[in-house]
Chain A
Amino acid sequence: MTTHLYCVLPNERRDEPPADLRGIDGARVRSMQVEGLVAWISDAERGVPVSIDGVRAHDAVVEAALETGATPVPARFGQEFASDDACRGALENYSDSVTSLLADMQGFVEMTLILTPSTRRMLRDLEPGLPAMVDPGKPGAGREYMESLQAREAATGAVRRSLDSLAQKLTEATKAFVRRRAVHDQVTRLPLRTISHLVSRSDVANYKEATFTVSATSELRFLVIGPRAPYSFCALGNSDTGLHGMKLAD
């Protein structure tokens, strides 16, 4: 059995998590006092497999922490420790960074913009697969292959430029409410754009309203997701970027 870390909260939030809150594999979530902060943890089997259900359970705990009114610093999925003491030790090793990050995040939440082609057809047409192989013995096979690559690049390039343009408009419209900005590498290679903004809780409504002033096109749309915990702003000063929640353990 190991200890799974979901997030940390300021020391003032010493209350136990809601009694019915369940984490990964339905485990009860509990709080643990660490120097200057509170960690939300649960027991977990060693080597929790990565799954959609697991990710959702992890995020649900972090969201519950956000609902306390404080802003939690979320841990990256899979931060697993041999015991509660080992988890406490890891947090204490980063005590200054975590405490400072927590203080920095209070009063703020993350808002995310997803920009995407509008329809399934468009996205499928832009599928980034390589063109079908041509018969290498056929005269002009090399040229045919390069031309198909070029045609694909022209199609995706036009969409990417449109996405850039829409992203620029949204950035301009929301800039009064944005404290920090992060851009995620996409897990997929599809032409989506994800932009995360750190926004004051009191500005969330204004931020959303500002996005509504930007018109999507018939080819592109965007979604506004949030408020959520600041997953994209969790750098602890170690080698990790902190773009996926804080990382203490390998």
Chain B
Amino acid sequence: MASVPDDDELETEELVLGDLLNHVLDKGVVIGGTVTISIADIDLVVLDLRLLLTSVETAVRRNIDQTLKTLTTAGGPS
């Protein structure tokens, strides 16, 4: 695939798609691996990371909750 010159304008389509995602999705939603949007070759990373971090935080919180629940049920660590 031919590379896009750095001085080119940003693709309108990319910006429009980014805006659509911004409008329709809540940030709490986790986007799967099918996301192909990129702006200036960097947005994909940021978008993915941001949303992934949301899910990781949730997962960590759930793990902590689950661990605490297990410890409580078991009567605490021995």
Contacts and interface: CB of A to CB of B under 8 A. Distances in A.
B12 to A, nearest CB: 6
Interface string B9-32: 110100111111111111101111
Interface string A41-79: 000000001111101101100000000000000101110
A241 B70 CA distance: 36
Interface residues of B, number: 38
Contact of B24 (A53, A117, A188, A245): A245
A181 to B, nearest CB: 15
Contacts of A231: 23-24
B35 interface: yes
A51 to B, nearest CB: 4
Interface in B52-73: none
B39 A119 contact: no
A119 B6 contact: yes
Interface of A: 49-53, 55-56, 58-59, 74, 76-78, 112, 114, 116-121, 123-124, 127-128, 184-190, 192, 194, 196, 221, 223, 225, 228, 231-232, 244-245, 247
